[in-house]
Structure 1
Amino acid sequence: MKYMDACISEGLRHWPPAATTDRMCVKDYDYDDGQVNFRITKGQYFVIPIYGLHHDEKYWPNPYVFDPERFSEENRHTVNTKAFCPFGLGPRNCIGSRFALMEVKAIVFYLILNFKLEPNDQTQMQLKLLKTPFSLRAEKGVNVRLKLRK
């Protein structure tokens, strides 16, 4: 179950439920890290690129490689919790994130318990995303064959 949890976390990092989220600034904010400096004024909207954060080499070594070990108990302390936000962060994060995680884990458990998942002739082995601005969808869909376990 721990490895399944790591796989689900890595799946959420690799393919977050939303590619971006937006927020409205509630007070003037000055940002200056020594390299970049800007001001966000109260009432201004801005977009947070979740997919970009989840694939930034600054936070994730080999970001395009699916590696569940990033989220193993031994490595979990190295995860930058501000750069991993599949359900958002702070007081405006997804209220249903715990339920969604529990539901996905139950579905994966019962799928693996009862079926073998195998590629079929329509399976795109290196999943590629459609080049659309606001959604993450596979170019050719996600096609697998379910074989009943005996």
Structure 2
Amino acid sequence: MVISETLRKWPPAIAADRVCNKSYLIGDKEGEGVKLYPGDVISIPIVGLHQDPDYFPNPDKFDPERFSPENKDQIQPFTYLPFGVGPRNCIGSRFVLMETKAIIFHLLSKFTFEASPRSCIPISSDETGFTLKPEGGFWTNFKPRK
């Protein structure tokens, strides 16, 4: 749940692009709307979906309970896309999740953590790139467990 909520707040990619393979009208049938043609590129704003209060109430709050077994069914399909969706989703998504859990387990078993004075709290995003990253970096102090 914590990893899922972390990926909702800070997805690895801010958008997913797709290429249209047939004509499509977004909007009403009377010509009002946007016409898409084969070859047009569509950008799906993953961060926008993940931060939309219509899909994730109180989106700025870090709330792992959103992904609890009791609440998971309330997430609308195709609104949680940290690795994309469908046949072109990230091929390494399952591996990354398994590897992340293993790393967290080993780090927590050997170290305690505390925020470094160099870290900016609350975290703000550096919006200059194509991925989300904390402004000024994210600094953590590790102390070996006894």
Shorter-chain TM-score: which interval?
Answer: over 0.9
RMSD: 1.6
* Structure 2 residue ranges without an equivalent (≥5): none
| In the alignment, structure 1 residue 67 sits paired with structure 2 residue 55 | no
* Structure 1 residue ranges without an equivalent (≥5): 1-5
| In the alignment, structure 1 residue 41 sits paired with structure 2 residue 37 | yes
1:90 corresponds to which residue? Answer: 86
> Structure 1 vs Structure 2: percent identity of aligned residues?
47
1:33 positional shift: 6.7
Q: Amino acid of the residue matched to residue 57 of structure 1?
A: P
1:81 positional shift: 2.8
Q: Amino acid of the residue matched to residue 73 of structure 1?
A: P
1:21 corresponds to which residue? Answer: 16
| In the alignment, structure 1 residue 121 sits paired with structure 2 residue 117 | yes
Q: How many residues were matched structurally? A: 144
Q: Amino acid of the residue matched to residue 67 of structure 2?
A: F
Q: TM-score when scaled to structure 2?
A: 0.92
- Show structure 1 runs of 4+ deviating over 6 A: none
Q: TM-score when scaled to structure 1?
A: 0.90
1:40 positional shift: 1.4
Looking at structure 2, the residues matched to 9 and 42 of structure 1 have their Cα atoms a distance apart, in angstroms, of: 34
Looking at structure 1, the residues matched to 145 and 77 of structure 2 have their Cα atoms a distance apart, in angstroms, of: 38
